[in-house]
Amino acid sequence: MKIKLQIWRQKNEKAKGKFENYELDDVSPEMGFLEMLDALNHKLANEGKESIAFDHDCREGICGSCSLYINGQPHGPKAKTTTCELRMRSFKDGQTIVIEPWRAKAFPVIKDLIVDRSAFDRIIAAGGYVSIDSGSAPEANSIPVSKNISDKAFDVANCIGCGACVAACKNSSAMLFVSAKVYQLALLPQGKTEAKTRVQKMAAVMDAEGFGSCSNTYACEAECPKGISVKSIARMNAEFLTSKIVTEKVE
Ligand code: SF4
Ligand code: FES
């Protein structure tokens, strides 16, 4: 396959970026999308040109770092598929592929296609953890959890923190990500210790980081590569109300 590429190039956070055009021959349909970018970088290096900066780590849909906006869709055209899992057979011979970084105030571009997603880390640090006694690993069955609850918790624990939900949302809302993290811990007995204040702390950091509000367009759910449902947002809102009532009673 031959493909044409329009790729966002930006030297650093402050620089003004622009699209640059590239062409690549001999692209195999079985090639992964990131392997195609590796091949392009190899070509650029051979020509003495600066390679294109893009983020990646696991290349198997686990780490959430391969955040690319491809032809107007976060992670490209294939549903429930991360950029690193995407194969070039999803594109046609001769097609032009436009590649951009995530666009959101809370995710500033560091260089080319790489954005700073540390705002998500700060939301997690505010409440996305559980308190445990340190020491050796506890006996697996010492805290029973029903199959129904563990299945639900596992569904939301699938969130890989990629940020596609934010990139897809016209308001750059992080509600799908935050709700997945809140609901996962709210379901499990291990999450009860911090349950009273967790959602309030995480929501406060989410707002302070500059993410927008949710206006129920469901674009986040449509583009989430892990199929996280917007139902978790409703559950987070319920957690928030309960948390407010409990903490105001205590105060
Ligand atoms: S909710 Fe989905 S789109 Fe958002 S960060 Fe998690 S995995 Fe990515
Ligand atoms: S590189 Fe880890 S999810 Fe894509």
Residue 111 beta carbon below 6 angstroms from any ligand 1 atom: no
Domain ranges for the chain: 3-41+50-110, 118-250
Kindly give the number of the ligand 1 atom that is closest to the alpha carbon of 174: 4
Q: Which atom number of ligand 2 is nearest to the Cα of residue 84?
A: 4
Report the pLDDT value the prediction gives residue 119, as an integer from 0 to 100.
98
The pLDDT tens digits of the residues spanning 188-214 come to 998 988 888 999 999 999 999 999 999
* 118-250 and 3-41+50-110 share a CATH fold: no
161 pocket-lining for ligand 1 (C-beta < 6 Å) = yes
The region of weakest confidence among 59-68, 123-132, 220-229 is 123-132
Domain range 3-41+50-110, CATH architecture:
Roll (3.10)
Q: Concatenated DSSP letters for 191-236? A: GSTTHHHHHHHHHHHHHHTT-B---S--HHHHH-TT---THHHHHH
Which residues sit with their C-beta closer than 6 Å to ligand 2? 56-59, 61-66, 82-84, 160
pLDDT at 249 over 70: no
Q: What are the helix (H) ranges across the chain? A: 33-46, 118-127, 147-157, 164-168, 175-187, 195-208, 219-223, 231-250
Distance from Cα 184 to the centre of ligand 2, integer Å? 21
Separation of alpha carbons 50 and 44, rounded Å: 7
pLDDT of 237 higher than 90: yes
pLDDT at 43: 97
And the tokens for 140?
């697996």
Domain 118-250 falls under CATH 2.60.120.10:
no
Kindly tell me if the per-residue pLDDT of 48 is higher than 60: yes
Q: pTM of the prediction?
A: 0.94
SS3 18: strand
Q: What are phi and psi of 126, to 5 degrees?
A: -75, -20
